[in-house]
Each structure stands twice: as C-alpha cells, then as structure tokens.
Amino acid sequence: MASTDDKVILKSSEGECFEVDMAVASHLQIVKSVLEDCEGSSDKVVSLFIVEAKYVAMIIEYYKNYVELKEKHEEGGFEEKLKEFEKQFLEQIDKKELKGLVMAVNYLNAPALFDVVCTAIAKHIENKSVEYVREYFGIVNDFTAEEEAQIREEHRWAYDGVNDD
C-alpha cells in the first residue's frame, strides 16, 4: 500500500477532494507540473478550478485502471486489456457527458484519455447531419440560407448517407 507521501489531493471546482496515488496523478500533466513547481512543499492539494467533480472521478477511474492494468500485464496483453476496459468505461458515459469530459481531460493534459474520448466523440458524430453536430457542440449557424444552399450544392457528396439522429 502506498504511503500518504505517495498521494495527492485533487480538488474539483465544487471543492470536492479526491485522494489519489501519485502513480495515477502523474498521468495528468498539469497536476505533475504543479507538484514539480511546489516541490518541497508539504501541501499536496491541487485545485482543478474548472473541472467538475464528476469528471475528476471519471478521470481518476480511468487512470487507476490504466496503472493497474499496466502493472498486471507487464509481460504482455496490456493493450488488449486496456481496449476492453476503455470499451466498458465509455459505455458508462452519457454521450452528452463526453463533451465535458474531453474539456476536462484537455485542461488536465492527459493524453491517453484524451485520445480515447476524442475517438468516442468522433464515432458519435460520424454520419450525423450538420444540424445535429451543430446542436451537439453548441455551434451557431452563421451562414445565410443562400450560403448554406450553395455549400450543400457544391459538396452534395458530403451529405450522402447522413443520419439525422
């Protein structure tokens, strides 16, 4: 078991605290940088000002499993087990929560999970209509009706097989 010296407290935007092993926290580059900047300090609390508690919990869950799987499968099989876990992990997350999670992961600079979540979002919006993607990301249509009609005409092929969903 890790000692308290091997732990860090991550504090969400709502003030909720999560005690995390350094092996897990070290995958979050912003946390790693803050701890390096405060080296020698006894305070191991890192405030994540713009990350909600639910996303902190998801990120910790992912990296806890990542670290455990890596340790368990040092001799091989890590990639396969990780893919299985990632599939189960993503099945638990609402499609709307993916947007918040990707923002949190981007802020924390956690590359492995960033790639996983971006891939999930890409699969989610694949073959969706322009209107659906705009709504999903909260993008305002700034084209006039004429401009949009012209674009649709010039790029008709891009609208083949699109689901409105």
Q: Residue 31's domain is classified under what CATH number?
A: 3.30.710.10
Host domain of residue 94: 4-126
The overall longest dimension of the chain from CA atoms, in Å, is 65
Interior/surface letters 38-77, b for 16+ CB within 10 angstroms, e for the rest: eeeeeebebebeebbbbbbebbbebbebbeebeeeeeeee
Same domain, 145 and 117: no
The predicted structure's pLDDT at residue 2: 47
The predicted structure's pLDDT at residue 160: 82
Same domain, 121 and 135: no
Same domain, 143 and 72: no
Same domain, 85 and 18: yes
Percent of the chain at pLDDT > 70 equals 95
pLDDT of 116-152, one tens digit each?
A: 999 999 999 999 989 999 999 999 999 999 999 999 8
Short-list 45, 36, 61, CA closest to 12? 45
Same domain, 161 and 93: no
| Total-model pTM | 0.85
